[in-house]
Structure 1
Amino acid sequence: MKKVLLILGSLAILGVLLFKQISVSAGSLIIEVPEDPNPTKTTVMYQCDTETDKEKIAATYLNASMISLVDFTWKGQRVIGANVIAASGVKFAGAQYIWWIKKDQAILYNLIDDPTEENPIRCEKIQDIQ
């Protein structure tokens, strides 16, 4: 009986240690793109007009093969959008947000607050960071 309890105790401790290791790396996501040996990462700073004030957004564009993502923070919420079909420019969708870029301008839509996309937040490119 003591051997069984010792084994069960050891397994429980091992399980806790393994779980602890898994939870440490749970903050990362790795997407393998074997066809593209040179993925790119570009960060652009935008100045956005919210009608009440101006806010800056640093948008990071990640491109690899046929995968294009944008990563930015808006109102304290991190948004990661994937490239979707657009009539013109480059359009990303993530969470309730649409991020649409055309040349040096970007438009941000919050589909919860503005489901008909009638009140865009207009942003102008200020500088390339990387």
Structure 2
Amino acid sequence: MKKPIAIMLALLGAQAALAMPLTVPQIQTASTQTTRYDCKDGKSVSVQYTNTRNHQSFAALTVDGRKLLFVNVIAGSGAKYVADQYTWWTKGPQANLYDEMAAKDSPPLLADCEARKK
């Protein structure tokens, strides 16, 4: 009888953890910046960029109602961030959001996005 209770408590704890902010004490934030992009289809997206003291970069944005944390990876040009099946790729003030599971000739989910000037 103790096992089902322990499993339920673990599940409840996991749900509570989802609502908590993500903190990783070993990785310290150096800077954070939020940029708003306007895309050619009239949609807009707000992206929070975080740079860490150990030179990692992250981008947090909402895709299909899910808040995702994108991690910077090697790119030939610009800054490329990946999370789940998605790629957020920026070059200067321009950005596109791709679904890597979509057909090869599919357009980006968000295309020709332009950072708003401050």
TM-score by length of 2: 0.73
How many residue pairs match? The answer is 109
Is 1:111 matched up with 2:111? no
RMSD over aligned Cα atoms:
2.7
Give the C-alpha shift of residue 32 in structure 1.
Answer: 2.2
Is 1:123 matched up with 2:116? no
Q: Is the 8 A contact 1:98 1:110 kept in 2?
A: yes
TM-score by length of 1: 0.68
Cα distance in 2 between the residues matched to 1:94 and 1:100: 12
Structure index of larger Rg: 1
**Structure 2 unpaired stretches of 5+:** none
Q: Which has the higher helix share?
A: 1
Cα distance in 2 between the residues matched to 1:20 and 1:75: 25
Please, which of 3, 26, 42 is the counterpart of residue 33 of structure 2? 42
Aligned to 2:46: 58
**Structure 1 unpaired stretches of 5+:** 1-7
Would the alpha carbon gap of residues 117 and 86 (structure 1) be closer, same or farther in structure 2, given more than 3 Å must change? farther
In the TM superposition, what are the counterparts of 1:22-37 in structure 2 within 5 Å? 24-28=16-20, 29-33=22-26
Please, which of 71, 75, 89 is the counterpart of residue 100 of structure 1? 89
